[in-house]
Every structure is written in C-alpha cells, then in structure tokens.
Amino acid sequence: MKARQAQFAALLLAALISCVSSPAQRASTSGIVYPTDTTISTIKDGAGHVVTLNAQEKVAFLFVNAIEGAENDCLNTFFGGPGRLCTMEELVQGVRTKSGFAGLTQNPAHDPNYSYKLAVIVGQTLLITAIPRHSGIGAFALVGTAGAMGQIYFNPNGSDLKKVVALTDFGIGGNGFKRSAM
C-alpha cells in the first residue's frame, strides 16, 4: 500500500510541478545563512537506508519543512493564525498572530542553489518543492494536507521528481527557517 501511495505521489508531483509558480520565487544573488541553532538527525528512506545530504541540500530540506510548518501556523487559529493557508509572499513577510508573527526567517528566493514553489493542490493539500538551480544537488518535494505532517520525497540525482525516494525517518532540532508563531 505504501508503495502505491509513493507511486501516486510521484505521479502527482510530476503532473503538477510545471504549473506551480510565484513571484517570490525569483532568484537572488544573495545567499542564505544556515540557522546555527538547528540540527538535522540521521535521515532514512522508506527502506531504512541512511540518506546523506550536503550543505546545500540541508538548507533546502529545512526550507521545505519550514514552509510546511509555517502553513500549519497559518491554519492554527488557537495561536492567532488567520485560519487559512498563506501565500509564499505572506510567509516571507510574516503573518501576524496573537503573540508575534508566523512565517519564515529568511526568504527562500535568496537561495542561489534552489527554486522553491508552494501550491495548494486541492482544498488544503499542499505541494512544496525545492528544485536545484544547477547540477550536483538533489530535489525535494513535500505532499501533504496542511495541519498534518506531509510526506517528503527526495531525488539525490537532480531535479527529476519522477525518481524520488520517500524520507520517512528524521528529526529537526530547533526552528530551522521557521519563525516561531508563539
């Protein structure tokens, strides 16, 4: 069953990847500062194999996770989120909550290595992608329903999202690129 779900998600990614765009995604020559208070535990794929990410891929991995987390904050009215999904532009600018701002600490468009895209597929189902701007680094995609943890996929060999593995075991210590909404 999991294999069929992974196949379906990969096909869905391939079908949708070309139609996702945002003005906030334009490339910039300035870089991203890796959050020094953040750690990533050992990452494993669905078969239990360790997946090693280089420094550029770690940044993309953290951004994909932060975008998903910020969307969850946007939906969460208990902490003062607007109770809806937010656009990438809103996540970059910050969305006011009861106790501060939800969103991202840095603009992913400033990452010289990746192009990030956020799309709502149906209802509250999200597609978040990090596509390499050059060879030598892998691509990421997250598919999931906002408010619940989505599934992250990774192709270590480039931007082809038809050839992904599911990342099923990992942990992130710290906020990464996500603003704390509380």
Residue written as tokens 């998903």? 68
Residues whose CB falls within 8 Å of the CB of residue 178, separated by 6 or more in sequence, listed in order:
65, 66, 69, 70, 73, 103, 104, 105
Token reading at 29: 């020559």
Tell me the pLDDT of the chain (182 aa) as tens digits.
444 444 444 444 444 443 333 333 333 335 899 999 999 999 999 999 999 999 999 999 999 999 999 999 998 888 788 889 999 999 999 998 887 888 999 999 999 999 999 998 888 899 999 999 999 999 999 999 877 889 999 999 999 999 999 999 999 999 999 997 65
User: What is the Cα–Cα distance from 94 to 53, expressed in whole angstroms?
Assistant: 28
Asked if 116 contacts 109 with a C-beta cutoff of 8 angstroms, the reply is yes
